[in-house]
Amino acid sequence: MSNVRNTLTLSLSLSLQYDVASLHSSVLISCPSMVRGQQDTPRLHGNSMEGQAPPPQPTQPRKKRPEDFRFGKILGEGSFSTVVLAKEHSTGKEYAIKILEKRHIMKENKAQYVKRERDIMSHLDHPFFVKLYFTFQDEEKLYFGLSYAKNGELLKYIRKIGSFDETCTRFYSAEIVCALEYLHKKGIIHRDLKPENILLSEEMHIQITDFGTAKQLSSDSKQGKNEYLIFQKIIKLEYEFPEKFFPKAKDLVEQLLSLDPCKRIGCEEMGGYGPLKSHPFFETVGWDDIHLQTPPKLTAYLPAMSEDDEDCYGNYDDLLSQFSCMQVAQPGHAPLVPFTGETSQPTYNPSPSVDQFIHIHELDSNCMELDLQYSEEEKRILLDKQGAANPWHQFVENNLILKMGPVDKRKGLFARRRQLLLTEGPHLYYVDPVNKVLKGEIPWSPELRPEAKNFKTFFVHTPNRTYYLMDPSGNADKWCKKIQEVWRKIYHKHQSPSL
Produce one character per residue of 22-41: b if its CB has 16 or more CB atoms within 10 Å, e if not: eeeebbbbbbeebbeeeeee
Tens of pLDDT, residues 197-250: 999 999 999 999 988 889 998 765 544 444 445 454 566 777 888 877 889 999
Q: Where are the domains of the chain?
A: 154-292, 313-491
Tens of pLDDT, residues 78-107: 878 899 999 999 999 999 999 999 898 898
CA 310, CA 331: separation in Å to the nearest integer? 13
CA 132, CA 211: separation in Å to the nearest integer? 12
pLDDT band at 68 (very low <50, low <70, confident <90, very high): very high
Q: Does position 75 have pLDDT exceeding 70, yes or no?
A: yes
Q: Which residues contact 80 (CB under 8 A, 6 or more apart)?
A: 100, 101, 104, 105, 108, 110
Q: Does position 177 have pLDDT exceeding 60, yes or no?
A: yes
Tens of pLDDT, residues 448-465: 999 988 888 899 999 888
Architecture, CATH, for domain 154-292? Orthogonal Bundle (1.10)
The one-letter amino acid at 34: M
pLDDT band at 263 (very low <50, low <70, confident <90, very high): very high
CA 458, CA 333: separation in Å to the nearest integer? 11
CA 236, CA 126: separation in Å to the nearest integer? 36
Residue stretches of the annotated binding site: 98
* CATH code, residues 313-491: 2.30.29.30
Q: What are phi and psi of 125, to 5 degrees?
A: -145, 80
CA 81, CA 101: separation in Å to the nearest integer? 7
* Closest CA relative to residue 480, chosen from 425, 420, 418: 420
Mean pLDDT, rounded, of the chain: 76
The one-letter amino acid at 90: S
Q: What's this model's pTM, rounded to 2 decimal places?
A: 0.62
Indicate the SS3 state at residue 254.
Answer: helix
Hey, which residues does 141 pair with through a beta bridge? 101
Active site residues: 192
Structure confidence at residue 239 (pLDDT): 80
pLDDT band at 183 (very low <50, low <70, confident <90, very high): very high
Structure confidence at residue 344 (pLDDT): 38
* Closest CA relative to residue 176, chosen from 158, 157, 197, 151: 197
Share of the chain above pLDDT 90, in %: 45
Hey, which residues does 416 pair with through a beta bridge? 409
pLDDT, mean of residues 366-392: 89
Structure confidence at residue 259 (pLDDT): 83
End-to-end Cα, the chain, rounded Å? 37
The one-letter amino acid at 231: F
The residue ranking higher by pLDDT, 401 or 372, is 401
pLDDT band at 342 (very low <50, low <70, confident <90, very high): very low
Q: Which residues contact 300 (CB under 8 A, 6 or more apart)?
A: 161, 162, 163, 164, 165, 313, 314, 316, 466, 468
Four-point Cα dihedral 145, 150, 152, 156, nearest 10: 170
Residue stretches of the annotated binding site for ATP: 98
* Closest CA relative to residue 425, chosen from 478, 340, 487: 487
Hey, which residues does 450 pair with through a beta bridge? 460
* Closest CA relative to residue 128, chosen from 31, 215, 203, 214: 203
Tens of pLDDT, residues 279-320: 999 999 999 999 999 999 988 776 655 444 444 544 444 333
